[in-house]
Structure 1
Amino acid sequence: MATSSDPAKPRSPLGLIFLTILIDMIGFGIVIPVLPVYAEGSRFGATPTQLSILVGIYSLLQLVFSPILGHLSDRIGRKPVLTVSILGTAIGFFVTGSANAYWMLLLGRIIDGISGGNIATGMACIADVTTKENRSKSMGLIGAAFGVGFMIGPALGGVLGKISPALPFFVAGGLALVNCALVAMNLPETLTPEAQERARHRASIGEVFSHGRSGLIFAILASQLASVTGFSIMTSLFALFCEKRFGYDIAHTGWILFYVGFLGVLMQGGVLRRLLKRPIEKQLAVIGAGVLAISMYFLPSTPPSLGMLLLVCAGISVGNSFVTPTLNGLASRSSDAHTQGRVLGLLASAGSLGRFVGPMIGFQLLRFDSNENYARTSFYASAAILVLALVCITMVSPGAATAPTPDAIPET
């Protein structure tokens, strides 16, 4: 039996990394059905432009700070970066919950956005402790954490929001504090001293695109940008869409998002991991983008029926579940150990840019539709952008990365 002092069989930290990202995503998911409705209400009276800024500023700051945090984690280690950034997330949630004016809501989102690059560091932790062959399947853990967080968070936010509009933000802040304590006390440092030393000498942006990897990485980044932009149009408008088109309150919307997240867990935690025993990452990403685009096209014309809405949402969930982890895995496997944080930081930045651009597009296009056709133009634009994502994915050449094998993921 291996002990903690036996270097041959160290205990994998994948389970704790999964829990860390899960708690982070539950906190993030809590505010999804709450924030747009909360900010638009009588207390703040935010306009569509103010809403787009409020939703988008978080991701804009992630765009700036994800590569910075990723590069920093390559130099000083993953654990200190995760610990401090999660603490910042908690502070941001508490400021948002305490807000009595729009500028305070914005300040809370700014603090949270600066701290929000920690997902890239979490992905780098997984890359540190897995082989290249198993990396796409292990990145499915992040997809599963997103799915569970997207399942539990919105439902919890909807229930808490019925009690008090500010309560979801305080609960999310409390969860972030718990998360920070778990990381500080239990997460081992996953970056080896050798990789840290190499990063200090060679961690340049040019190194990321060297050794013939530039075409692959650019194609993956473009695919990520387009797919996240299209998907974020939906997520930013969904609560208001359900309220104005179906008459649902935030609790009902939260349960619908619970259903979307539940399907995502089934797909990424089970079906996708089995499918990725074969080297078909690109094909799965293409299928996912196609299903996502079709579902988004039909969303605004959904009849006033819960069953039909759930059917369309199922397509959205399945499509997104196929796209996200496959792109993450391809990006990770295209880099060396000492550039993992930088590469995944760039991927997170592409996602952050998409989550900034998406709401800006979506909210500005609302002016073309009445409440009866709320967000129709926005969702059509989303579908068109997702078709562009599909085209970008077809340009990815997975042969530049090591093909996955059916080896099992290290046990947690």
Structure 2
Amino acid sequence: MDSPTAAAPPQRAALTFIFVTVMLDMLAFGIIIPVLPHLIVQLIGGSIAKAAVWAGAFGALFMLMQFVFSPVQGALSDRHGRRTVILISSLGLGIDFILMALAPALWLLFIGRAVSGVCAASFSTANAYIADITPKEKRAAAFGTLGAAFGIGFIVGPALGGFLGHLHVRLPFWVAAGLSLVNFCYGLFVLPESLPKERRSARFDWRHANPFGALVLLRRYPQVFGLAAVFFLINLAQFSLNSTYVLYTDYRYGWGPQAVGYTLGLVGLCSGLVQAVLVRRLMPALGERRLILAGLLLCVGGYLLFGFAGTAWVFVLGIPFLCLGGLAGPPAQAMMSHQVDPHEQGRLQGALTSLASLAGIFGPALFANLFALFISDHAPVPLPGAAFLLAATLLMVAAVLALRVTGNRPLVAAAPIVAPVAALPFNDVSTDTLSHDPSEPYP
């Protein structure tokens, strides 16, 4: 039998591979962030307020596709392995970014965004990959490392996208396509499989792969269900950034693609440091529960600074506080994955990604329209930062819920629900024994 020390190098290598895979994908997504709203403005020839509404529709479509396809990809990865799902998604993204780079009309760009949402659903598979290769006691740190890959992608991606967008608004899409195709080639030749055949699901079941059936999995674990609600609120609040950041900073501070790209790069840098360094250092001292609560409250402070910032330097001051909210993600993700069987990790991560996507279906339209309302002539009061203030309120609710759900007791698995399948039409419940993580930041 192999010793732990003999097994450690392959585990570290696999973690490095998935880190690079996620980083390249996030780099591709990050590059188009500063330019997509401006391309929408160009294609519709409308005002910033109209573009904000369309940007909200684009965001909702993207997340609707993730909501539908995340459990499908999670179930497929449980059945056929993680590597295959990740490779197909990377190839699909590369082709899709080419389509978006060439799109001459808004409707074609809309279709391209839908395909991006389908392919981006593979991020849940990356989380399941981490759960496959990492012992329980090291998962929070490993999820923090994966969060750092997101951060690095957003350090370089938006800054590069802002620079490229300054040259031509469609150039970032071509570069994103190249990165995704490079990622496909990298994974094809380097990325190992993390889920042995003997640990895979016996079959693929569409009951388990539909988004509502996947969410039923969370009901089997009451404390996981409560943390999943916290996870949902975190993601819902985050869409205040995704749907309004570019247009808000343009409206209030006159920022163009370059300024947006550089400040989003700062967001990525701070997020990467939080995920890669602070989570690992603070976890032993504070524990999972305190780290979740600290992250949520610091993030509230960041959103409040964003919402009330009358000048650009005050807005920038809020970025470190917002990024410290990333302290909440890895420990929450670790607490949830500890509860779920190894062969259900893909379905758990798919269910959590579906929750994030569900937030994304409503979040972009909610925050974009709120922003549009409060900068319009019909605004009850002139309050451009209303979307960020609503996000702060949602996170306060999440902090109260997290305080109640985690309590002072260790998480324990609940007994499986015993109910006839007919009573739960989207039932995802089995009678397997229970054992074994989530919360992700961004997009």
Fold agreement, TM-score > 0.5: yes
Q: 1:212 to 1:235 in 2, by over 3 A?
A: closer
State the partner residue of 1:189: 193
Partner Cα separation in structure 2 for residue 17 and residue 8 of structure 1: 17
Aligned to 2:32: 31
Corresponding residue for 1:277?
284
**Residues 278-335 of structure 1: per-residue CA shift (max 9 Å, x gap):** 57112111111111122212312213242x222111111111x112222222222221
Identity in percent? 32
1:20 counterpart residue number: 21
1:255-277 C-alpha deviation (Å, 9 max, x unpaired): 01111111111111111111123
Q: Is the 8 A contact 2:141 2:280 kept in 1?
A: yes
SS at match of 1:395: helix
Which stretch shows the higher mean deviation, 221-230 or 379-388? 379-388
Work out the CA distance in 1 between the residues paired with 2:220 and 2:234: 21
SS at match of 2:195: coil
Gapped runs of 5+ residues in structure 1? 403-412
Aligned counterparts, 1:34-73, within 5 A: 34-41=35-42, 45=46, 47-73=51-77
For residue 335 of structure 1, what is the aligned residue in structure 2?
A: 340
- 1:312 aligned residue: 318
Q: 1:210 to 1:229 in 2, by over 3 A?
A: closer
2: CA distance, partners of 1:387 / 1:341: 30
Identify the match of residue 353 of structure 2 among 336, 348, 354.
348
**RMSD of equivalent CA atoms:** 2.6
Partner amino acid for 1:400?
A: L
Distance in 1 separating the partners of 2:160 and 2:218: 47
> 2: distance between equivalents of 1:49 and 1:239?
13
Runs of at least 4 residues of structure 1 off by over 6 A? Answer: 205-212
TM-score (norm 2): 0.83
Aligned to 1:11: 10
The within-5 A match list for 1:237-316 is 237-278=244-285, 280-306=287-313, 308-316=314-322
Count of residues in correspondence between the two structures:
396
Name the CA distance, whole Å, in 2 between partners of 1:7 and 1:197: 28
Question: Is structure 2 residue 141 aligned with structure 1 residue 137?
Answer: yes
Displacement of 1:75 in angstroms is: 0.3
2:328 aligned counterpart, secondary structure: helix
CA distance in 2, matches of 1:140, 1:204: 28
Unaligned runs of 5+ in 2: 414-443
Task: Tell me the residue number matched to 2:436.
Answer: none
Distance 2:343 2:124 in 1: 14
* Cα distance change of structure 1 residues 278 and 129 upon mapping to structure 2, 3 Å threshold: farther
Distance 1:98 1:179 in 2: 21
Shift of 1:346: 0.9
> Contact 2:214–2:350 (CA<8 Å) still a contact in 1?
no
Check conservation: 1:140, 1:268, Cα contact below 8 A.
yes
Decide which moves more: 98-107 or 288-297: 288-297
Q: Which amino acid aligns with 1:64?
A: V
Cα distance per residue 1:36-63 (max 9 Å; x no partner): 2221235554544322111221111101
Q: Residue 272 of structure 1 aligns to which amino acid in structure 2? A: V
Q: Measured at CA, do residues 212 and 303 of structure 1 come closer, stay the same or move farther in structure 2, by a change above 3 Å? A: closer
> How far off is 1:230 after superposition?
0.5
| 1:296–1:81 distance in 2 versus 1, CA, 3 Å | same
Distance 1:350 1:231 in 2: 13
Whether the 8 Å CA contact 1:97–1:167 is kept in 2: the answer is: yes
Aligned residue for 1:378?
A: 387
User: In structure 1, what is the Cα distance between the partners aligned to 2:136 and 2:412?
Assistant: 9
Aligned 8 A contact 2:52 2:247 in 1: no
34-43 or 174-183: which moved more? 34-43
* Alpha carbons 1:209, 1:217 under 8 Å: kept: no
* Closer, same or farther: CA 316–262 of 1 in aligned 2, 3 Å: same
CA contact (8 A) 1:244 1:374 kept: no
Q: 1:241 to 1:211 in 2, by over 3 A?
A: closer
Q: Give yes or no for contact 2:299–2:321 (8 Å, CA) kept in 1.
A: yes
- Report the equivalent of 1:170: 174
Residue in 2 aligned with 1:408? none
* Alignment-derived partner of residue 365 in structure 1: 370
Letter in 2 for 1:96: M
Of residues 173-182 and 275-284 in structure 1, the stretch that sits farther from structure 2 once superposed is: 275-284
Moved more, 261-270 or 289-298: 289-298
Partner of 2:115: 111
C-alpha separation in 1, matches of 2:69 and 2:369: 26
Quick check: 1:54–1:105 contact (8 Å CA) kept in 2? no
Distance apart, 1:396 and its partner CA: 2.9
Contact 2:43 2:105 in 1 (8 A): no
